[in-house]
Amino acid sequence: MSLMTWSIEVRVDFNDKSKTAIMEKAVRSAAKELLTVARLLADGREPDIAISTTDMFVGREEIALFEIGESGQ
């Protein structure tokens, strides 16, 4: 069996930039749920997940799965 990768992209253009933090929290939550399912289905090889955002002015920026102070264990 070969390594499989799934990608989900969401594009938004908010007038109110405060919505960006809300969206980032939702993306983290969805990523955690997907990683949990992948771990439950894993056949011994640990699954991995990456979260990032791309801004046409800033470029690509990695997003941590857990916020500062939030336990990942």
Model confidence at 73: pLDDT above 80: no
**What confidence score (pLDDT) does residue 32 get?**
96
**Which residue in 66, 57, 56, 67 sits closest to 11, CA to CA?**
56
Quick: pLDDT tens for 49-71.
999 999 888 899 999 998 888 87
- Long-range interactions of 23-28: CB distance < 8 A, separation 24+: 24/53, 24/63, 27/51, 27/63, 28/63, 28/65, 28/66, 28/67
Confidence at 3, pLDDT banded by 50, 70, 90:
confident
Quick: pLDDT tens for 5-64.
999 999 999 999 999 999 999 999 999 999 999 999 999 899 999 999 998 888 999 999
